[in-house]
């Protein structure tokens, strides 16, 4: 099972059809973990690029 299929599965409501949305705990956990890990990775890439290009790049898009 590839990553995006898994993401799609955990994003489904845990409640039966017709009932209000009930999140799976993995979906809630991933909503916090994924952006933080990606942020760490992207910050690392920017640092490497800065050293390679010899110029100051920007911060996060906030």
Partner 1 sequence: MNVTLPTAGYWTTFLHPELARLAQPLHGWFYTISPQGELSISLWALIGLGLLLGLLVGCFGVGSGFLMAPFLNLVGNVPYNVAVGSDLTQMLGSGTIANLRQRGLGYVDYKLGLLLFAGSVFGVECGAQLLQVLKNAGGLSLGGRTLGWLELGMTAVYALLLGWIGLALFREMRGRSRAAASAAADEGPVVFGGSRLRTLSLGPMVSLPVSGVDAISLWLILGVGWVSGLLTGFLGVSGAFIRMPALIYVLGVPTVVSIGTNLFELFILAIYGTLTHSVKGNVDLVLVMILLITTTVGNQLGVVLQRKIVGPRSLKVYTLIFFVTALLIILKLIM
Minimal distance, residue 5 CB to partner 1, in Å: 10
Other residues' Cβ atoms within 10 Å of the Cβ of residue 62: 3
**Subset of 14-33 contacting partner 1 (CB under 8 A):** 21, 23, 27-28, 30-32
CB of 2 to partner 1, least distance (A): 12
DSSP characters over the chain = --HHHHHHHHTS-SSPTTSPP---HHHHHHHHHHHHHHHHHHHHHHHHHHHHHTS-------
Positions that interact with partner 1 (CB under 8 A): 4, 7-8, 10-13, 21, 23, 27-28, 30-32, 34-36, 38-40, 42-43, 46, 55, 57-62
């Amino acid at each position: 099972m590839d990553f995006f299929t898994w993401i799609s599965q955990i994003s489904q409501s845990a409640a039966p059809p017709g009932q209000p949305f009930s999140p799976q705990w993995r979906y809630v956990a991933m909503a916090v973990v994924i952006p933080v890990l990606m942020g760490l990775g992207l910050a690392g890439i920017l640092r490497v690029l800065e050293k390679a290009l010899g110029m100051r790049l920007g911060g996060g898009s906030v």
